[in-house]
Every structure is written in structure tokens, then in C-alpha cells.
Structure 1
């Protein structure tokens, strides 16, 4: 019989966000050799009905905390892994007791980029590892083909919520005066004020459009056709959209935060200060007009892409899970 792994996720398929993409991808990796069940973090009825698993894997320290506490109380000898995916790493574990207890009781912790380790207290860091997320390599649309497009296409991918700071992207659109640039925002309206702002920006500036939430395949279709992808977030654990852009051959402009530096490298030249819409507008205009700058961004992104291959992520996930299951069967400590 295959070992049974229960994954606790704050998002399921209908959310179409980073947490769901991580849960789905890891489950697909593990189902080759394990039985995997994904449970929502907000449904106590499903926690109480689950048979004893061999391993617990939780995404997001705070949002999975109640489920993990209930399952650990019911099955105290089952080992657990907590994956820190975003706001939990850069906010919750510093202020939220339930998130802190979740990390304390976990056998192993996972962060999604190297800079994330610095957010952990020494005792937590000892049992933490880095597993970079991944995306399939999609054949990039060639530079020659893109050069014949009528516009320089720039996209932002992310739901409209405060942590993603979409207002900076909209404000940059209002500041852009360079002709031939189009800004496209893809993401669902999770904040009514930001949705109203997006509609007002689109009405006032014809080079900005908001497409709302799209299916993942449609998102990738738009991304592949872009010259540039923008990420304005105020906090990120390890953004899937950065990986997808790199695997599509699309350079990135990103807010200068720890989570983005951990993905793109400290020396990346495509950062702008958080909330600085003028700097973002200037960088977009420069990328559209300065081929040397644009080529440099593309080369730096290409140099990081090897970190985010599915083969690399799958090997790391399988090794982590094997170590946890082996430590359970031999009663060994799963980390040095």
C-alpha cells in the first residue's frame, strides 16, 4: 500500500492562485509513489473524517494552523512539513501565535527562495530547507516576432489585493507617455476599491486594460506574448509568476523586496522601490526604448531559469518526503 500524504492548502482549484498551483504541482509529483489527499484549511469537517495519514504537508503557516493543530492532536506521531508560501513568511510568523506554534511543531520547514531563510529564527532555520518552485518550459516567442508586434506588451499577473499592490501598476500606467506601450493586468477583483481603480484607469488611459481573472492556460498565453512582466508586490514568499515568466523567456520588472531578490538574485537590474510608480513607469519606458537594457534583463532572467525546472523541484520534494517517511519508520531525527 502506498504511503498516504495529506496536504492542507488554503486554496483549492477554484482560487487559481499561487498556493493552489503549489499544492497541485506537489501532489502531481508525489502521486507517482504515494497516495495524496488535498484538504482545504478552512473545513474542519474534512479534517475530522480523514483516516490516519503517514505524513502531513501544510501550505501557509497561519492559514493551515488550525487544521494542523487538530490533526496533530488526533495523530500525534504523524510527522509534518510546513511550507511557508508568502504573507506567512514575511508577516504572520513574526506576529501570529498560531503560525509560530505551527512552525514549532513541524518536523521540517520549507521556504521557496534562499532569502526566506533569513526570516526564520535560528531554531526554525535549523530544520528549514529551500525548494524552488517550477514551471514547464514554454517555447518563447522569438525576439524577431515580438519586434513586429504593433505594441510593446507589458503584463501584470496577480489578483487585486493590497499585498500585490496593483495600484502602483495603475499609477505607472497614468504616468506613461511613451507611445506604443500597452499594459495588461490579469487578476480577479478581491478588493472592491482596487477593482474600481482598475476600471477608472482603463477608462482614462487607453493603453491600460484589466482582463480580470482568467484560466491558467489563458494567462500563460498572454504571458508568452508579452515583452515584459511586472510584479509590484509588497511581500512575496516566492512568486509563481516570476518562474512562469522566466520559463516563457519574458524578462521581469519587480519590486525590490526580499522574496523577489531571492528569486532573481541580488544583482538583478530590474528592481524598483516598493510603491514607486514613477520609477516603474521609467523602467517600462526604458525597457521599451533601450535594447541594451532590455537584453541585459533577458540575459539575467535566463541565467536564473535553471533553478526553476520541474525536474529539479520534483527531485527536491521527493527527497524531502522520503527523508520524513524514513525518519518516521526508523525513529530518527529528520534533519541534522
Structure 2
């Protein structure tokens, strides 16, 4: 099929939507399709249309539906679609969801948080990641600096990006935890907050935005990763951590629980740095607990294989084609 895929993230962006679009392009082309990834759509013909982001892509979705009502449309739901834009911009977001022949959700609990009548359109797709062989060896110098905790993702409200830094301030004096954050500041306010925190918190370092190789080195140098988000559609960095065997400390939101499972041992209440500090200290001081988390993420690694992601994309495409033919 000739597939057009729209993403709001420009070429060269390190935003999650751009990484997802490029990975899906590769997976779909390896399955025999041709894919054109665009950031604007003007009504050009294609055999199927995939929109990343229900709200941000609504104009393109309207245009595609108007010009090509008989062709299949797939909409991939982001965390902000599900947990913010449904409430803030219901008309546009629900239009995109209702117009779709198939929906893609990136964690197993999405069906709970969208309108019940749309749940039968939903395919759950776990974003894939490279395996441990793609990660470098830990650097000895990094390990000597202390117990490394990484936070990877753009600095923004949804990510609650400095929560681990705030938690680190509450650690006992004997803790060797060092929190290293990597990600682009969403705006100047976030940049200022990160720089101020780094200046006043000896346990915190902000590296800014890293390329893929340097981000993987940071993960390899770390003993734990924190994902403290207040909302997530299903973060690819969790997939990467599981595939790399890197234990995760995660906020107890649906987007994390829907990837790591109800029985995962490393959750803390969202936004609560005291609870996060306690959990970080436990993981540092208790090798058995660290081992439990490592075992759990390693057991989950099989969910995040490229072939499984490719199969889920193909399933969503087949579902969209079938629904389309039923409509016409």
C-alpha cells in the first residue's frame, strides 16, 4: 500500500512523535509498503493515512476524510490526546477518534480512558527498542561518581521532569545517588528551572538534549531510570530500559502501568518526591530489591521487540481496511 503518515514533529526533531514516525516508516516499508512521512497534508492521494496525534493532526484528518472518504484512516493516540486534549479540546480530538477506522494505543490500559464505543477500534501497540547489544559498556568513571540515576525526556510539565532532582534533595547523607537528566527544555522557564536546580543541588546534573548514542551511554552508565511523568501515552524510553535490562522507577499513571504491569514493584505516587526519595534509597541500599526490578524489566523485554510492533501495525492496517470496506 502507498501510505501517508503525518506527524507534528519536524524532520531532525528528537521528539517522540518523530522517532515513532520514522520507526513505523521502517517497519512498514520492510513489510512491503511505501511510506511518505509528512508534517503537512494537502489532500494528496494515498491508499491509507496514518495520523500521529488526534488533536494536533485534526486538520489533516479532516482533509483526508473529505477528499478520500472511502480510504482507510488510522489515528495513533498520544498521552496528551488521551489525558489532556479529550478534555480541553473535545470536539477536535473526538472528531479524529471517531473519524478513524482504527486507533492505535501505546499501552494496555488505553481502552479505559477513551469513549467506550470507540474501544473496539483499538489496537494496542508496544513501541519497540533495540536490545542490549545496541548499548555501550558502562564507563568506569561514571560508576565511580556514585549510584547513577538517569531521567531521559524533554523537560516539560507532562514529564514532571525535575521530580527526581527534588527527591534527591531528601536523601540521607550516606546516599551516593546522583541524578542525571537529559532532554531539551520545552521553554526558557524550564531551562531556568533546570539550571537553578543544578546550581543548588549537588546531586543533580542536567546535560541538555543528547543524540541517541550519548543517551544510550547515559543509560548504560546508570543503575536505575526514573520516569516521573504525570501523563504518558506509553513512553518509548520505558521500552528501551526494559530491552536494556535497566530497572525503572515509575510514577503510578496508566501510561506506565500499562507498559510495566500491575505487579511491577517500582512505582511511586505521581508528584510525590518524598515517596520517590524513599524508593530510590531502597533501590540503592537493598541489592535484592534492585535485583527484583532488574528481573522484572528483563521479563518484560519480549513485549518490545520490533517484530511485535510491526505485527501490531499490520493488524491496525488490516482492521482499518476491513472497516473501510464495511462502510462502503
| TM norm structure 2 | 0.92
Give 1:268's aligned residue.
264
**Could you say what secondary structure the match of 2:37 adopts?**
strand
* 1:255-290 superposed Cα distances (whole Å, 9 cap, x missing partner): 111110001111111111111111111211111111
Compared CA separation, residues 276 and 77, structure 1 to 2 (3 A): same
Q: Is the 8 A contact 1:5 1:56 kept in 2?
A: yes
Q: Relative CO higher for 1 or 2, CA cutoff 8 Å, sep ≥ 6?
A: 2
**196-205 vs 313-322, which moves further:** 313-322
* 1:61-100 superposed Cα distances (whole Å, 9 cap, x missing partner): 1111111112211222221001112110112124421010
Give 2:84's aligned residue.
91
> Is residue 2:314 matched to residue 1:318?
yes
- Unmatched runs of 5 consecutive residues or more in structure 2: none
Q: 2:45 aligns with which of 28, 52, 72?
A: 52
Q: 1:20 aligns with which of 6, 18, 43?
A: 18
Q: Is the 8 A contact 1:80 1:106 kept in 2?
A: yes
Q: 2:193 aligns with which of 190, 193, 197?
A: 197
Q: Is the 8 A contact 1:81 1:109 kept in 2?
A: yes
Compared CA separation, residues 206 and 148, structure 1 to 2 (3 A): closer
- Counting matched residue pairs gives 323
**Could you say what secondary structure the match of 1:156 adopts?**
strand
- Unmatched runs of 5 consecutive residues or more in structure 1: none
Query: CA–CA distance in 1 between the matches of 2:151 and 2:249?
Result: 10
Give 1:127's aligned residue.
121
Deviation at 1:188, TM superposition (A): 0.5
**Could you say what secondary structure the match of 1:129 adopts?**
strand
Q: Is the 8 A contact 1:61 1:93 kept in 2?
A: no
* 1:263-322 superposed Cα distances (whole Å, 9 cap, x missing partner): 111111111111111111121111111101111111111121111111111122123324
Compared CA separation, residues 142 and 293, structure 1 to 2 (3 A): farther
Q: 1:307 aligns with which of 303, 306, 311?
A: 303
Give 1:223's aligned residue.
219
Query: CA–CA distance in 2 between the matches of 1:75 and 1:113?
Result: 30
Superposed, which structure 2 residues align to 1:285-304 within 5 Å? 285-304=281-300
Superposed, which structure 2 residues align to 1:173-252 within 5 Å? 173-176=168-171, 177-252=173-248
**301-310 vs 164-173, which moves further:** 164-173
